[in-house]
Amino acid sequence: MIGISPVSVSHYLVVGAVLFVTGAVCMATKRNALGILMGVELVINGANLNFIAFGSKYLRAESLGLDGQLIALFVIVLAAAETAVALAIALNFYNNHATIDVDQASELKG
């Protein structure tokens, strides 16, 4: 029988890194504004998972272990506000251009 190792902090860090890279690739390759927003959310979720893993009691036994969870909660609140603003911008852009293709946003250049 193969020995099964328990799930450790490094496993969470690998999953968080995979989420982060997947989100970065999604943001770089999508032309649709909603696809880009989904990539941003994947990046934020990957970062949150890493915050929680770094705040684990297995890394620092002398703390309460809530550091990562509190930072992740703060990031989730900011992500909710960012999503509301980004969706409002996407809806306004759709009303003006009848598309949400970000390549059509040439008039937004400064």
CA terminus-to-terminus distance, the chain? 64
What residue segments make up the domains of the chain, in order of their start?
33-98
Model confidence over 64-101: pLDDT tens digits? Answer: 667 788 888 899 899 899 889 988 988 888 888 888 77
Number of H-type helices and E-type strands within the chain: 3, 0
Q: What is the pTM of this model?
A: 0.77
* Cα distance between residue 110 and residue 99, in whole Å: 21
* Cα distance between residue 72 and residue 28, in whole Å: 24
Partnered with residue 32 across adjacent β-strands are: 101
